Amino acid sequence: MKNSESGPVFKINYDESYNLISVKNIKEETKWKLSCLCKSNI
């Protein structure tokens, strides 16, 4: 019983943390691209 209960909960937590990591990576990438654009414009 406990295994079936903890499974979905773990998956939700894992998905949420994975999404947070993805968002963070996208932000870093965007910052990097913006800084490159600024440098090429100057």
Task: Give the model confidence (pLDDT) of 1-41 as tens digits.
Answer: 454 555 556 566 777 778 787 888 888 888 888 888 777 76
Q: Report d(CA 15, CA 1) in Å as an integer.
A: 22
pLDDT at 29: 87
pLDDT at 1: 46
pLDDT at 7: 56
Question: Across 1-42, where does the E strand assignment appear?
Answer: none
